[in-house]
């Protein structure tokens, strides 16, 4: 298994532009998570899905952020319009379940820089 | 989910055991202790978890005190590649509302 795959690895964009981050979870994993990591705030959970349905989006910072999971093998996190304070590393993770014996598998992340 | 306290940083000599402590004095009976680590520029990686018994796998051992208020992650023979931030996380694993919440972790530096 190739693990959780995120693209792009690096993204540099200008303020005001739309940014789309992509994630392919591990096949068969029912849960998908989007995290953001910054020096100031550490790793924060933004949103998670169960069977392609968003369950908790309370961590999404504001309406400029949106996430979708159109099928079991693909999810996107979109920022429109982007702002410099959105600069961070965005991680996607997937898990078989939320039970005790199921760890999360993280992707390598997308480093976003908004200038 | 219960809060955890970890030292900000630790050093360890290569080849020696690295013992990383975690305090979780407010842990509840149905909360598990999880350890993840994050090597620089990579995503977090699952290491081990436990409820009340000590656990061991190919990566590490987890020692949980009898009162469950603290635990220690042991890397028996640390290598330079074990240099990373180690996160101790406590969470209820059986409810749909429970998910991983990361604190600040311990920066472990393994020195040659």
Interchain contact, B97 vs A56, CB within 8 Å = yes
What percent of chain B clears pLDDT 90, i.e. is strictly above it?
78
The tokens describing A11, both together, are: 């993204």
Bridge partners (DSSP) of residue A7 are A22
Which pair of tokens denotes residue A44? 């924060």
Cβ of residue A103 closer than 8 Å to a chain B Cβ? yes
Beta partners for residue B22, in sequence order? B71
**CA dist., res. A18 & res. A57, Å (int):** 20
Q: Is B103:B87 a contact under the CB 8 Å cutoff?
A: yes
Determine the pLDDT at residue A100: 67
List, for residues B8-26, the tens digit of each pLDDT value.
999 999 999 999 999 999 9
Q: Residue B95's CB: how many other CB atoms inside 10 A?
A: 11
The verdict on a CB contact (< 8 Å) between B94 and A99 is: yes
Q: What is the mean pLDDT of residues A104-111?
A: 96
Contacts of B7 (CB under 8 A, 6+ apart): B20, B21, B106
Asked if B100 and A104 come within 8 Å (Cβ–Cβ), the reply is yes
Looking at beta carbons, which residues of chain B come within 8 Å of A42? 102-104
Cα–Cα separations (whole angstroms), residue B36 to A93, A99, B7, B61, B92: 13, 16, 15, 13, 16
Q: Do A42 and B102 touch (CB under 8 A)?
A: yes
Is the distance from CB of A114 to CB of A11 less than 8 angstroms? Answer: no
Closest CA to B25 of B89, B88, B70, B87: B70
Cβ of residue B94 closer than 8 Å to a chain A Cβ: yes
In this predicted structure, the answer to whether residue A102 has a pLDDT above a threshold of 90 is no
Most confident among A73-82, B29-38, B95-104 (mean pLDDT): A73-82
Of the two residues A13 and B1, the one the predictor is more confident about is A13
Contacts of A99 in chain B (CB under 8 A): 93-94
Three-state SS for B15-39 is CCCEEEEEECCCCCCCEEEEEEEEC
């Amino acid at each position: 298994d190739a693990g959780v795959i995120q693209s792009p690895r690096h993204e540099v964009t200008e303020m005001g532009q739309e940014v789309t981050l992509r994630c392919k979870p591990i096949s068969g994993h029912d849960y998908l998570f989007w995290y953001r990591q910054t020096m100031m705030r550490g790793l924060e959970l933004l949103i998670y899905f169960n069977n392609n349905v968003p369950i908790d989006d309370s961590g999404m910072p504001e309406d400029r952020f949106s996430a979708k999971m159109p099928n079991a093998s693909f999810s996107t996190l979109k920022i429109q319009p982007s702002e410099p304070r959105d600069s961070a590393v965005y991680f996607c993770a997937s898990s078989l379940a939320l039970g005790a014996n199921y760890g999360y598998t993280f992707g390598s992340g997308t480093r976003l820089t908004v200038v | 989910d219960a809060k955890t306290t970890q030292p900000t940083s630790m050093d360890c000599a290569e080849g020696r055991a690295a013992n990383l402590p975690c305090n979780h004095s407010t842990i509840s009976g149905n909360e598990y202790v999880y350890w993840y680590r994050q090597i620089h520029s990579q995503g977090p990686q699952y290491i081990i978890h436990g409820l009340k018994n000590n656990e061991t796998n190919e990566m590490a051992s987890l020692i949980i005190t009898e009162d469950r208020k603290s635990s220690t992650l042991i890397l028996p023979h640390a290598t330079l590649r074990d240099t990373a931030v180690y996160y101790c996380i406590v969470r209820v694993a059986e409810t749909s509302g429970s998910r991983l919440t990361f604190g600040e972790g311990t920066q472990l530096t393994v020195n040659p």
